[in-house]
Amino acid sequence: MNNEMLLMIPGPTNLPEPVRQALAQPAIYHRGEQFAQLLEVCTEGLKPVFGTESDVLILTCSSTGAMEAGVVNFLSPGDRVIAIDTGKFGQRLGTIAEAFGAEVTWLKVEPGRAASADVLDVLCAQVEPKAVLFVQNETSTGVCQNVAALSEVANSHGALVIVDAISSLGGIPFQMDEWSVDVVLAGSQKALMLPPGLAFVAVSERAWRAAEAARMPCYYFDLQAARQSAAKGQTPYTPNVSMIVALAEAISLLQAEGLPAVYRRHQQMGQATRAAVQALGLALFADPEFASDVVTAVQSPEGLDSTELVKRVRDDHNILISGGQGELKGKIFRIGHLGCAGIEQVRRTIGAVAASLVEMGYDCAAQAAAEAIDEVVANF
């Protein structure tokens, strides 16, 4: 597969060969001992990634389905909640809550910045929310928020903390129990190195108690049903068994590398990408204090439509990076560095971006960028 496109977008990511081979295994039945063991391996294997000893449930859906599950199981129509709007993905949890009848107060954050715990504190005092909803990693802007700090504030006001860790889990550390987060959502196609199609929800004991009183309607995403089935080694509805076989393989890849090493690899890719981009003479979009180690957003140089750059990098170099979304379309481009990628993939990508910019008539320091990556690696 030498002509496989290198996916340097913030998910889906390239698939490791063992994961692809696992997907091609013969079908197994989802109500039997073999599947029960597989489910156990997966849920137990995911717990350290979430940093929890609570329940981790595996859903057959994309990540947005897990977001819906994370809202409708714990809230009732009319509940007041605060949703932190950090961008396209930060908006989604709040939008789902509104669709199911919650009264949402938005904490709007300037794109490229993280929410302030102090501002959240003031807003919580005014709103007295049942829950606070936010992302760890805002994929649209390359911002990684301080979950511990935001969770502490929400907890101090007695609010449930519901966090979308979809694009970060497995690439950036998450400590659900230590940070007192109640509901954490993740997806298969990011740092977990699988195709899209599975999503994960971790649920605290406090959240389970809230679920008993929650009155938003749900059926497919009923997590209490999922928990009951999980106790018997099953899922309430037929799961994507092939993906769960592949999940076990992906988890064993994470275990073989070791989670601390996995996180360090992502940190190194993040640092190297940021250093290289700046060495190229380009400006980072995200607040450096909250720069994400799984995706870097870069401001388009004056006069450049980033959509053109993305196309050129794809067509000339067989590497896919991302443009901006919504209001940021054309104004930024984004390099994803997560999953099974490493520093060599960052080098190739930066080289391709530099070459494409030069061809498009923009002066940029390709050599300096390569050296910046070397320096990060040498000092890491």
Binding site for its own copies (CB under 8 A): 1, 4-5, 7, 9, 11-15, 20-21, 23-30, 60-65, 67-68, 95-96, 99-101, 187, 189, 195-197, 216-221, 236-243, 320
Both structure tokens of 370:
């390569």
- Is 84:104 a contact under the CB 8 Å cutoff? no
344 vs 363 by CB, closer to its own copies: 344
220 vs 377 by CB, closer to its own copies: 220
State the minimum distance, in angstroms, from the CB of residue 366 to its own copies.
Answer: 26
State the minimum distance, in angstroms, from the CB of residue 89 to its own copies.
Answer: 11
Alpha carbon separation from 84 to 134, 192, 244 (Å, rounded): 5, 25, 32
- Is 222:90 a contact under the CB 8 Å cutoff? no
Q: Is 356 helix (H, G, I), strand (E, B) or coil?
A: helix
Alpha carbon separation from 63 to 156, 185, 260, 335, 356 (Å, rounded): 28, 8, 25, 20, 33
State the minimum distance, in angstroms, from the CB of residue 96 to its own copies.
Answer: 5
315 vs 359 by CB, closer to its own copies: 315
61 vs 83 by CB, closer to its own copies: 61
Q: d(Cα 283, Cα 146) in Å, to the nearest integer?
A: 23
303-329 as b/e: b if 16+ CB within 10 A: ebbbeebbebbbeebebbbbbbeeebe
180 vs 318 by CB, closer to its own copies: 318
- Is 33:39 a contact under the CB 8 Å cutoff? no
State the minimum distance, in angstroms, from the CB of residue 320 to its own copies.
Answer: 6
Q: d(Cα 153, Cα 117) in Å, to the nearest integer?
A: 7
What does the radius of gyration of the chain's CA atoms come to, in whole angstroms? 21
State the minimum distance, in angstroms, from the CB of residue 113 to its own copies.
Answer: 26
State the minimum distance, in angstroms, from the CB of residue 62 to its own copies.
Answer: 5
239 vs 270 by CB, closer to its own copies: 239
